Amino acid sequence: MSYTVHVSGIAPTTTQAQLHDFFSFCGKISSIDYREKDGKATIYFEKANAAKTAAMLNGGALDGSTLTVTSDVAHQDEEPHATPGPYEQSDKPRAGIMAEYLAKGYKLSDQILERAIDMDSKQGISKRFLSYFHSLDKSVGERALGPEQTVSAKVQSTVDNATTQARAIDEQKGFSKIANDYYTWAYSSPFGQKVKAFYTDTSKQVLDIHEEAKRIANQEKEKAKGSTTQSGASGSGAAAEAKPQAPEAEKSKDV
């Protein structure tokens, strides 16, 4: 089953790939029916949550053209799984998704950001996300450390040890990667605690979303630097020397 939204007012210069890239922030896309001559498209999502998030972007703009995003039905948020497991893009709080848009270079109006905050608060999405992390904390802790143990109660050295053990136990299920990614930033430092609060606290302001966007953008820059350094180290001699490149001009993606 798929969940759809209808998009109109698409700029003639917008490609289907750009549409896919834009709406994939909302969640997994099954397919796109893009009628370029009419400037219209129907986006088919795998989850109702994703379609509901996409509808929030109504009135925004892409490539300088105002988008109208509508749906034939009022999509409802799906309840999270009873047991913790890999979460999907569409499961994230809307404020977090909006921060990812901003970090990628899209420009969202404060009205859209406020819409995301309001929806998270009314639907209790951040509270569900917090419950998910608490369940994950307990389930990984018990498997790695023993009955009634949680990873968050341990010092950083134990966190590292716990995620290593969890990886050996649950690698095939994808739990360990989630635990490692989450605990690395959520429990290892005061800054991580601030990030954790962003995704699990419904009391947010527009400024908080902009700050999280900056964190994500900086994180991506550090990853890119790391990849470049690693690639350069793999060579040898003069041929391995990286040549400095001019920074790519930032693309303005008004939304």
CA angle 209, 29, 27 (to 5 degrees): 25
Helix, strand, coil percentages in the chain from 3-state DSSP, rounded to 5: 55, 10, 30
pLDDT grade for 11, boundaries at 50, 70 and 90: very high
Extract the tokens encoding 245: 């490149």
Contacts of residue 199, defined as CB under 8 A and 6 or more positions apart, other chains included, come to: 92, 93, 96, 126, 129, 130
Q: Which fold has domain 1-75?
A: Alpha-Beta Plaits (3.30.70)
> Tokens 């890999």 sit at which residue?
86
Question: How many CB atoms neighbour CB 223 within 10 A?
Answer: 10
Residues pairing with 70 in the sheet: 6
CA–CA distances in Å: residue 77 to residues 21, 86, 91, 92, 222 = 22, 17, 9, 11, 34
Name the least confident of 9-23, 85-99, 163-177. Answer: 163-177
Question: What pLDDT digit, counting tens, does each position of 110-133 carry?
Answer: 999 999 988 888 877 777 776 766
Q: Decide the pairing of beta strands 65-66 and 40-45.
A: unpaired
Residues pairing with 131 in the sheet: none
Q: Where are the domains of the chain?
A: 1-75, 79-230
User: Quick check: 243 pLDDT over 50?
Assistant: no
CA–CA distances in Å: residue 233 to residues 224, 240, 241, 242 = 14, 7, 9, 9
What whole-number distance in Å separates Cα of residue 24 and Cα of residue 44?
Answer: 11
Question: What pLDDT digit, counting tens, does each position of 190-240 carry?
Answer: 545 666 667 666 667 888 888 888 888 888 888 788 776 665 555 444 333
Name the least confident of 38-52, 55-69, 79-93. Answer: 79-93
Residues pairing with 65 in the sheet: 62
At residue 195, the pLDDT reads: 62
